């Protein structure tokens, strides 16, 4: 029986009186590759933030390898959704990736050779060595997204959380990116929030649907009922050939 990497137990999150997540239960096993889909505003980002320890749930508890997320160090590599970054910020790609090596226990201490090695490996994995000394503001959106993934990999995490990682990765790199994640899953647990259903069907092992409530049956199948609950309307679901079938026979 593999270890439980993340355990979310009856978690609800309210913003003021608005319920964003309702009674979420989710168990993610070590080396799972879990995709979370759902409509905009369905609480996907909020759930990732709860797991990352950025947001305390109003009710319920979260355990990351048995500990509360704000007590677990070096377990989580977080790749935030692309926001509007400060393009004038005076930092190079290298500076940004190195910030992945910080932690509470590294406070005040200088980074060492092992830190630089881990950061360099993360850069290589995302094919960014050539851009190492470029200012972060000079990069394209897709390149910058790869820098944020490299920064999360530099943590050498046991769990990788990705929020819409392919939104700004250019199409050409898309397939490569998913294949890279697929290779990574032997080393770590991956939870990815995405709209890219065709990629999910090809690469992800398990799929959960989230729209305030979570629909998850620890498999890759989305039943018609799950789909209806989450998107609240009948959607034409294109089921590709059998190897990548997500949707049950219909």
Partner 1 sequence: MLEFLQYEFIQNAVLAAILASVACGIVGVYVVVNRIVFLSDGISHAAFGGVGLGYFLGLNPIQVAIAFSVAVALGVGASSKKLGAREDTVIGVIWVLGMAVGIIFIKLTPGYVPDLFSYLFGNILTVPRSDLHIMLILDLILLLTVALLFKEFLAISFDREFAQTLRVPVSVISYILLTLVALTVVMLIRVVGVILVMALLTIPAAVSERFTKRLLQMMIGSVALSLLFTLVGLWLSYVTNLPSGATIAILAAAVFFTSLYGGR
Which positions lie near partner 1, rule CB under 8 A? 52-54, 70, 72-74, 76, 78, 80, 85-86, 88-92, 95-96, 98-100, 102-104, 107-108, 111, 135, 151, 155
Measured from the CB of residue 99, what is the shortest distance to partner 1 in angstroms?
4
- Give dist(CA 34, CA 36) in Å, integer: 7
Given the complex with partner 1, which of 76 and 204 has the nearer CB atom? 76
Given the complex with partner 1, which of 29 and 111 has the nearer CB atom? 111
How far, rounded to the nearest angstrom, does the alpha carbon of residue 152 sit from its chain's CA centroid? 10
Given the complex with partner 1, which of 193 and 200 has the nearer CB atom? 193
Measured from the CB of residue 78, what is the shortest distance to partner 1 in angstroms?
4
Whole-number Cα distances in Å, 151 to 52, 57, 76, 116, 135: 15, 26, 11, 12, 15
Given the complex with partner 1, which of 91 and 184 has the nearer CB atom? 91
Given the complex with partner 1, which of 72 and 223 has the nearer CB atom? 72
Contacts of 18 (CB under 8 A, 6+ apart): none
Given the complex with partner 1, which of 2 and 90 has the nearer CB atom? 90
Measured from the CB of residue 95, what is the shortest distance to partner 1 in angstroms?
6
Q: If you write DSSP's letter for every residue of 28-72 in order, what string do you get? A: EETT-EEEEE--TTSSHHHHHHHHHTSS--SEEEEEETTB-GGG-
Measured from the CB of residue 35, what is the shortest distance to partner 1 in angstroms?
20
- Give dist(CA 226, CA 219) in Å, integer: 12
Nearest Cα neighbor of 159 from 119, 191, 200, 121 is 191
Number of neighbours of residue 141 by Cβ within 10 angstroms? 12
Given the complex with partner 1, which of 65 and 231 has the nearer CB atom? 65
Q: Which long-range contacts (CB under 8 A, 24 or more apart) does 243-247 make?
A: 244/198, 244/201, 244/202, 245/201, 246/197, 246/200, 246/201, 246/207, 246/220, 246/221, 246/222, 247/221, 247/222
Measured from the CB of residue 77, what is the shortest distance to partner 1 in angstroms?
8
User: Between vectors from CA 98 to CA 95 and to CA 102, what angle results, nearest 5°?
Assistant: 125
Measured from the CB of residue 245, what is the shortest distance to partner 1 in angstroms?
35
Measured from the CB of residue 52, what is the shortest distance to partner 1 in angstroms?
5
């Amino acid at each position: 029986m593999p270890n439980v990497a993340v355990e979310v137990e009856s978690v609800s999150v309210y913003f003021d009186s608005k319920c964003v997540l309702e009674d979420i239960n989710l168990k993610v096993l070590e080396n799972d590759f879990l995709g979370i889909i759902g409509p905009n505003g369905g609480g996907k980002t909020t759930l990732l933030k709860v797991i990352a320890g950025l947001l305390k749930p109003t009710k319920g508890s979260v355990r990351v390898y048995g500990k509360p997320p704000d007590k677990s160090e070096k377990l989580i590599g977080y790749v935030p959704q692309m926001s509007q970054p400060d393009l004038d910020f005076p930092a190079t790609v290298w500076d940004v990736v190195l910030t992945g090596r910080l932690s509470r226990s590294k406070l005040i201490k200088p980074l060492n050779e092992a830190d630089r090695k881990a950061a360099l490996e993360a850069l290589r994995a995302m094919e960014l060595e050539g851009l190492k000394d470029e200012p972060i503001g000079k990069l394209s959106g897709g390149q910058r997204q790869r820098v944020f993934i490299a920064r999360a990999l530099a943590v050498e995490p046991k769990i990788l959380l990705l929020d819409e990682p392919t939104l700004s990765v250019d199409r050409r790199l898309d397939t490569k990116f998913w294949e890279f994640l697929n290779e990574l899953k032997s080393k770590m647990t991956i939870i990815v929030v995405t709209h890219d259903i065709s990629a999910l069907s090809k690469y992800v092992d398990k799929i959960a649907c989230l729209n305030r409530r979570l629909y998850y049956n620890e498999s890759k199948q989305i039943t018609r009922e799950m789909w209806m609950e989450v998107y609240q309307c009948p959607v034409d679901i294109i089921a590709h050939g059998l190897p990548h079938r997500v949707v049950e026979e219909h």
